[in-house]
Amino acid sequence: MEWRNVRDNRKVHVNQNGSDQPGQQDKIYRTRTRMDENLLKTGDLSLILRRPTDEDENLYSCRVYNRKGDVLMEKQVWLKVKVPEQVEVESGEESVLLPCRTRESLDGDTKVEWVDRDNRKVHMYQNGSDQSGEQHQYYRTRTRMDENLLKTKDLSLTLRRPTYEDRGIFTCRVYSKDRVVLMVKQVNLWVKAQEQVEVESGMESVLLSCRTTEDLDGDVRVEWRDSRDKKVHVYQNGSDQPGEQDQFYRTRTKMDENLLENKDLSLTLRRPRERDSNTYICRVYSRDGDVLMEKDIQLQVKGQWFKCIFPIS
């Protein structure tokens, strides 16, 4: 008897010759599955999956084979996993707390790992301290956990300067020294754009305003992107970089020529149309690639209505 994850074709659980075969399981399911010990008598081939997360959402197949490898029976089950907790915050707030507490006993060998929806490492704690070198660069210097988490059992994550791009599901996992998952919790973070701008399609241009108090020098990089991660406008080394723009925006954007002096990073988008309705992110980088500032603006472009009058003869 074999349970598989249909999308990735991973072995979830295998039972052969009357006993489980954990060595054949994919490692992400190891220690998390169980079947009826008397399944040969009861005929109950149901699978229990412990600590389900949104990553487990999938189509699963249960197959029964004879000794020749012929399929005697197959059933498929669709698993839908709901994220239990949602946190809302406005972009531009100083920080947001992603709550997570445990009842598990934690010791010096405990490993705590937060990952985002793209499985990037947001924060890692191991061997009694944070492991900043393991973090994805996008989150470096932006996260914090309780220094006494082994005693308090509070594994909550503080995320500084949340932006629209941070939205999504964050997963906290706790591992034992043997890499066994002791606990999993997920939090859905919803980040609202700081500012909303409405304009009618057909207007000459629209201004997406962004100013900074940071001191800007010639090494600074200013980057506007949309929520689909397309580069809208790039400024670096004292001038615009049109070669880095996505073709969709080329020749349609403009920034202040003296932005280093004026600290005005606003973007003018020419000929806005309904397809330009999006969330736009302005990000300022230092020469080392650190994010100095971010701002999000949601642009809504309304379609125009035309009245047509036909003469009656």
Report pLDDT digits (tens) over 267-295.
999 999 999 999 999 999 988 888 888 88
Judged by phi (left if over 0) then psi (alpha if -120 to 50, else beta), residue 222 lies in beta
Q: What is the DSSP letter of 152?
A: H
Architecture of domain 85-192 in this structure: Sandwich (2.60)
Give the helix ranges, DSSP H, for 170-242.
Answer: none
Are 2 and 14 within 8 A, CB to CB? Answer: yes
Is the pLDDT at 249 greater than 90? The verdict is yes
Q: Do domains 85-192 and 195-302 have the same CATH topology?
A: yes
pLDDT at 306 over 90: no
Q: What is the distance of C-alpha 55 from the center of its chain?
A: 12
Assign 164 to helix, strand or coil.
helix
Sheet holding 111-115, edge to edge: 85-90, 181-192, 168-175, 111-115, 121-126, 129-130
Task: State in words which class domain 2-79 has.
Answer: mainly beta
Q: What is the pTM of this model?
A: 0.61
Class of CATH domain 195-302 = mainly beta
Among 28-32, 36-40, 261-265, 302-306, which is the least confidently predicted range? 302-306
Q: What is the DSSP string of 116-148?
A: -TT--EEEEEETTEE-GGGS-GGGTTSEEE-TT
pLDDT at 309: 54
End-to-end CA distance of the chain: 79
What pLDDT shows up at residue 38? 87
Domain ranges of the chain: 2-79, 85-192, 195-302
Q: Which residues pair with 65 in a beta bridge?
A: 71
Strands 19-20 and 10-16: antiparallel
* Alpha-carbon span 139 to 159, nearest angstrom: 8
Half-sphere exposure of 88 (CA within 13 A, CB side): 3
Region of residue 124 (phi > 0: left; psi between -120 and 50: alpha; otherwise: beta): beta
**Whether residue 142 has pLDDT greater than 80:** yes
